[in-house]
A and B are shown apart, each in its own frame.
Chain A
Amino acid sequence: EVQLVESGGGLVQPGRSLRLSCITSGFIFGDYGLSWVRQAPGKGLEWVGFIRSKTYGGTTGYAASLDGRFILSRDDSKNIAYLQMNSLRTEDTAVYYCVRDRIPTIIEPVTFEYWGQGTLVTVSS
Chain B
Amino acid sequence: QSALTQPAAVSGSPGQSITISCTGTSSDIDVYDYVSWYQQQPGKPPQLLIYDVSHRPSGVSNRFSGSKSGNTASLTISALQAEDEADYYCSSYTTTSTVVFGGGTKVTVL
From A64, A97, A102, A109, B1 is in contact (CB under 8 Å) with: A64
Contact A61 B3 (CB under 8 A): no
B46 surroundings in chain A (CB, below 8 A):
45, 97, 112, 115
- What mask results when residues 87 to 125 of chain A are scored 1 for a CB within 8 Å of chain B, else 0? 000000000010000100000111111011110000000
- For residue B103, CB closer than 8 A to chain A, the reply is yes
B52 surroundings in chain A (CB, below 8 A):
110-111
- What mask results when residues 82 to 98 of chain B are scored 1 for a CB within 8 Å of chain A, else 0? 00000001010100111
Q: In the complex, what's the smallest C-beta–C-beta distance from B42 to chain A, in angstroms?
A: 11
- For residue B100, CB closer than 8 A to chain A, the reply is yes
Nearest residue (CB) in B for A63 is B98
B103 surroundings in chain A (CB, below 8 A):
44
Complex Cα distance, B98 from A61, in Å, reads 7
Please, how many residues of chain B have a CB less than 8 angstroms from a CB on the other chain? 25
Q: In the complex, what's the smallest C-beta–C-beta distance from A26 to chain B, in angstroms?
A: 16
From B34, B40, B96, A111 is in contact (CB under 8 Å) with: B34
- For residue A76, CB closer than 8 A to chain B, the reply is no
How many A-B pairs with Cβ below 8 Å?
Answer: 64
Nearest residue (CB) in A for B33 is A110
A47 surroundings in chain B (CB, below 8 A):
91, 98-101
Nearest residue (CB) in B for A61 is B97
Contact B89 A44 (CB under 8 A): yes
Contact B51 A45 (CB under 8 A): no
> Chain B interface (Cβ within 8 Å of chain A)?
1, 3, 34, 36, 38, 40, 45-48, 51-52, 57, 89, 91, 93, 96-104
Q: A50-B99, A113-B51, A115-B46 are in contact. List 14 more A-B contacts (CB 8 A).
A: A35-B99, A44-B101, A44-B102, A45-B46, A45-B101, A47-B98, A64-B1, A64-B98, A102-B51, A109-B93, A110-B36, A110-B52, A111-B51, A115-B45
